[in-house]
Structure 1
Amino acid sequence: MSILVIAEHDGAALKPVTLNVIRAACACGPDVHVIVAGADCAAVAGQAAKVTGVAKVLLADGEALRESLPESVAAQVVDLARDYSHILAPASAFGKSVAPRLAALLDVAQISEITKVVSPDTFERPMYAGNVIATVRSADPIKVMTVRATAFEAQAEGNATAPIEALPPGAGFGRTRFVSRATTKLDRPELAAAKIVVSGGRGLGSGENYASVLEPLAGKLGAALGASRAAVDAGYVTNDYQVGQTGKIVAPQLYVAVGISGAIQHLAGMKDSKVIVAINKDPEAPIFSVADYGLVADLFEAVPELAAAL
């Protein structure tokens, strides 16, 4: 049977994580379809149709789907589900909202945050903050899964264009309504998709220090800014910046950890980074156990010197 990917998008373009999910879907089977649910999102469907490995794009375009409310998206997908053996979504806030609702409607178990497809019915997923990798075999006729995007390469755009099939949009979910959305607009790359991330921890001491110390370095590197949970809890930055088990999972080419001790919760969100650089005055800090390069120094001296040298 075919594989279905639930696309995450902003109404104008696919979110990059969707390309990683398509790569995981291709490992499950050869016939991959993508559903784009939204309003006035034909351009998104056109973008999805150009991705290598996509055999068909399903476009559900209706006003009830405009804000991609998880209840409405799940209701739209459940009508198609019987035609698919696997349904995949990104392990993002969007996917984590849609997938459990869909699994409940189908009366199947959800498999969360897969990191490897062993076979069409067997998958790997992390447990205990990534310290254990579980191999899970599912006997459900429809396998509903979320995909940890950092574990799969992004699928590239191909030369062919898959057909786009229009679906009748659903009426939505009557007991839920969209009220408002507050978005943070940044001049820097999006944290989850950035190739370079500079993160700060409690060692920075204040939100003012976070900005004055880290922003010049991030600007020189063209990096996204992140933070540990301790820094977020202390109010240095909002939780949009949080990297870790309860924040964003990142795997950039370069991760610079400044004043971060390296709690298990934080390591679970960044230890798959290609190169990790840690700056901390405590030589026994756990962050050094995963760092490729470690600098034991006062961050208030080392980071400005590093930024000045770039």
Structure 2
Amino acid sequence: MTADTTTQRLTQYASGGGCACKVPPGELERVLAGLTPAGGPDLLVGVESGDDAAVVRIEGGRAVVLTTDFFTPVVDDPYDWGRIAAANALSDVYAMGGEPLVAVNLLAWPRDRVPFVLAAEVLRGGGDVARAAGCHLAGGHSIDDPEPKYGLAVTGLADPDRLLRNDSGVAGVPLTLTKPLGLGVLNNRHKATGEVFPEAVEVMTTLNRDASRAALAAGAVCATDVTGFGLLGHLFKLCRASGVSAVVDAAAVPYVTGAREALADGYVPGGSRRNLDWVRPHLESGVGEDELLLLADAQTSGGLLVAGEVPGHPVVGQLVPRGGPPVTVR
């Protein structure tokens, strides 16, 4: 890249950033409630349980897993943004217990404002992550757009009898989190100040492949990934779909270095505040507002939240019988 392109800050071309740009969960559910989805007996997972991907049974004892995910820049480095966006899109397949097979690129680019050489770096980053995942990446679609956006549409394969679903949680099972939280506040600080957080980039570019395989090996049947709706938002959806409640041990939840400092300095994404507002009516808490904001922080390419114990990762709570509020934080 030339010197003039390396100084351009991609995050400044977008009003938001990453999964914090998601439509608020409450608004999205109101829209979906008025739709009648198409389906049939082979559609194993649709929109009903708010799961991470669609799953369709096919011949040969297999299932196809289909998902798509794209967003505006969370970091200024185009190669890293491409890696993060690709890892995030692939995560939905892993969150269902599948393995990605093939993906296509989704690219929106402000051609008149940002040199296309930077788009090539974004695509290179996405390609490198797809290659590391053993996933074919072939073609895709691009449009001219006022804000840059990138992601993938991914098709994977899974065993229809060994899926990780939102609606399969049972009381008495521990909750395991496979990546630390705090990515939203750190990305917001990066957007505002230009500070770079290598640990956050490392977390966001790490595939959830090994965590998914370990969860399946441990016998787990219920999981979700923690992305734009934060840990509390995704956990609430899991509890609602499974007909259980959950208790979160706030002290056991890990955070990326610098996350608490970013929160204290006011770098809270609007999406994180909207997440907490959405969950609050369904929440009982024994911790302060700052702790709740971190637990609701809008993550980009976060980890898996697994109903079950996954070796090597912290247990952060437990599913319990439905009786009180869906989510309790202690």
TM-score (norm 1): 0.32
More helix by share: 2
TM-score (norm 2): 0.30
Return the index of the structure with the highest Cα Rg: 1
Instruction: Say which structure, 1 or 2, has more relative contact order (CA 8 Å, 6+ apart).
Output: 2
